[in-house]
Every structure is written in C-alpha cells, then in structure tokens.
A = this chain, B = another copy of it.
Amino acid sequence: MSEERGSQSVRSVRGSAIRDLLAITERPGVLSLAGGLPAPELLPTVRVAAAAEAALGSPAALQYGVTTGAPALRDVVHARESAKLGRDAGAVVVTHGSQQALSLLAQALLDPGDVVIVEDPGYIGALQAFDTTRARVVGVPMDADGMRVDLLRPILERGGVRIVHTVSNFHNPGGATLADERRRELARLADEFGFWIVEDDPYADLRFAGSTVPPVAAHTDRVLRLSSASKIVAPSLRVGWMHGDAGVLALVERLKQGADLCGSSLTQAIAAELLADTDWLDDHIATIRELYGERAKALHAELTEAFGDRLALTRPEGGMFLWGEFADEVDTAALLPAAIDAGVAYVPGAAFAVRRDLTRALRFCYTTSSPGDLREAVRRLATVL
C-alpha cells in the first residue's frame, strides 16, 4: 500500500514536469488546462498599484528587511491564522511563497535516511523540496476523503518518520479534502510518534461548496502550517508563510538568512496592506470563489457528458484542480502530444506519482478558462481519446 520512492542524490533532482510543460502549452491556440495559475482577470492590479504607491512614500519599502518578514505582515498573518485555528498560531516566518517554506523545513528537519510521508499522488513542489535532501520519501494513497491515514501506523512503527506532509484542503493534484476524523487521527499519531505534520494549506479560502473543516493544527501543536497570499491576492508578491513551533521556526530563520537574507520589503508592505483590509479582501475572495465554483462545475459537467462512466472524477469543493482517472487502458502521458496537436493540454497523472501507477490519471486546472473554453477543450480532448 505504500513504498519508498528511493533516496535521491542532490544532483539528480527532478525537474518539474509541469513547469517544463508550460513552455509547450503556451503555444498559441492551445487551450491549456495544464497550468496551476490564478485567473488573471481577478488579479488586483489597481489595488496593488495603489498599495505600492502608498508603501513607496517611505524609503523603507526599498531597503533590506528583517529575515522573518515585516512585522506588520507577520501581525496580520498571525491574527488571520489564529482565527482559523481558534487558538494562538505560534511563531510566524514569512517566506518566498510557501514553496520556500517547504524547502527550508526540509533543510531544517531532515537528515539523510529520515523518512518523509507524502500523499500519492503528491504535490510536485513538496516532492522537489524533499528530493534535495537525502531523505526517503514514502507515498500513502488518497481516496475521496484525502490521505488514507489508516495506513500510517505500520509505517510509523518501522521508525524514522520525521515529517508527514499533507495538502489538507482541495489537494493538488488530487482534488480531495482530508476528512475531519482523519485530521484528528493524524494529530493523535503525531502526538504519539513525535513526527512533524507539515500542513500545506494554500487553498483553504477558496471553498465554493460544502463547509469548512478545522485545520489539522487545531488538534495538535506538532504542526507546521503553511499558507500564502498567492491564491487570494497575487503570486508575484511571493508572500507565503509558515507558523507553529518557535524552536523549529528559529532554525528556519537561520536557514533563510543563508538562503536569501530576507524577502522584499515592498511586496511585503503591499501584502500587509491588502491582507489587513478585510472588507476588500473578503469581497475579493468571494469573487474568486464564485468564479472558480462556476468553472469547476462547468468542467465537471462537460467531462461527465463527454466521457460518462469511462472517467472517474473528483467533485472539488474548492481550490483549482479536478482529478480524473480513466477506467480503460489509457496512457495519459503518451496521449499528451496528440492532445496538444488537437489544441488542448492537461497534466498526466504520472507527473505526480510517488509510487502508484497513475498512467490512466490526469489533472485539470479550471481557473483560467471560461465555460465556453472549457466546453471546447473537452470537445478537443474527446477527439483524441
């Protein structure tokens, strides 16, 4: 049910299949469901320009900043995360997107030979970060309720597990959300075995159906929780953060000094202003949710109409991705060039495989296409499959 991926040399780090693909899918005429980008029409250019101008009233916005992040930004993040948890969120370090949080945590917590448990299919950014250590990456399958937490105990009993990584809400690429009872069980296991849970939660605010489930971090303090302004404000602010245990975060701060000294005072000032303006932010997030909800529904309907029972689909309650798995012998990686020739792109499941055979699976991103484009993309896909 689970198996190690094999330790990797620092020099054999895998490239991201997705980022390599992006170059191809940006070919004119291709309707790309392969990316993982926020809808460009909702990026708040006017609001950011105003915040930039305000911040640049002081030269401090152009100067070096403190390694842990601008105090005003850390304060608003702390308040935001404490509200989500229903308790004090602990220490906060602002990172260069939550990708840097993954990278620094991998450096801080993992020694060669340590075991990291990830979901399978896995989030590629996390796999890349863990691959640069010489830790052993072990995949655990998911179902419609997220990671199969019931499969963890035998792996934990073999020893050496240092981190369990989970994208708890609207998994990338799997689409599923970790069920409440599984979150509580994962927290109990962390308390019992003493590993760290890395709860990677960039999509929590993008829920457009169902109801909010409390974070894993609501149930134990053995969680380093990651989130980001990328999906609710803008990726190019490069403002992510992690919060939790002060001891781990002090080590992360030292490692961040060596990694890049500090983040951008300018983009952190912009992020602090926009995240603190809750009236604007709540409205903005509501707009994103509504658009993504419509698009997710449209894509699900089109795929169901085109492929019926041949294609098992997640029904996302939020986030940016829809995951599908064909019932018949389809090799989604082998078919991709033909799909691109037909003018449509997706990411083959194999790109996310830790150990499972995901040959028949594929990931769609619905955020950047209108319902009309989604309909046309599925029509093109059907001509190839």
How far is A220 from B382 in the complex, measured between Cα atoms in Å? 55
Chain B nearest CB, measured from A54 CB (Å): 9
B40 and A59 contact, CB distance less than 8 A: yes
A237 and B266 contact, CB distance less than 8 A: yes
Residue A44 at the chain B interface, CB threshold 8 Å? yes
Identify which of A84-92, A170-178, A179-187, A256-264 touches chain B: A256-264
A64 and B235 contact, CB distance less than 8 A: yes
B238 and A260 contact, CB distance less than 8 A: yes
B264 and A13 contact, CB distance less than 8 A: no
- Copies of the protein in its oligomer: 2
Contacts of A49 in B (CB 8 A): 52-53, 56
Chain B: which residue is nearest A41 at the CB level? B59
Chain B nearest CB, measured from A145 CB (Å): 29
A62 and B37 contact, CB distance less than 8 A: no
B60 and A40 contact, CB distance less than 8 A: yes
Identify which of A125-133, A153-161, A277-285, A338-346 touches chain B: A125-133
Residue A383 at the chain B interface, CB threshold 8 Å? no
User: Contacts A257-B19, A260-B100, A267-B267 hold; do A56 and B62 have CB atoms under 8 A apart?
Assistant: no
A56 and B63 contact, CB distance less than 8 A: no
How far is A207 from B43 in the complex, measured between Cα atoms in Å? 42
Residue A72 at the chain B interface, CB threshold 8 Å? no
Docked complex: A56-71 residues within 8 A CB-CB of B: 56-65, 67
Residue A265 at the chain B interface, CB threshold 8 Å? yes
User: Contacts A62-B48, A63-B40, A236-B266 hold; do A260 and B53 have CB atoms under 8 A apart?
Assistant: no
Contacts of A287 in B (CB 8 A): none
Task: Say which residue of B107, B235, B265 sits within 8 Å of A62 (CB atoms).
Answer: B235
B52 and A257 contact, CB distance less than 8 A: no
Residue A234 at the chain B interface, CB threshold 8 Å? yes
User: Contacts A64-B235, A264-B264, A267-B266 hold; do A259 and B37 have CB atoms under 8 A apart?
Assistant: no
A sample of 10 inter-chain contacts (CB < 8 A) reads A45-B59, A45-B61, A49-B53, A49-B56, A52-B56, A62-B237, A95-B260, A99-B260, A237-B264, A237-B266
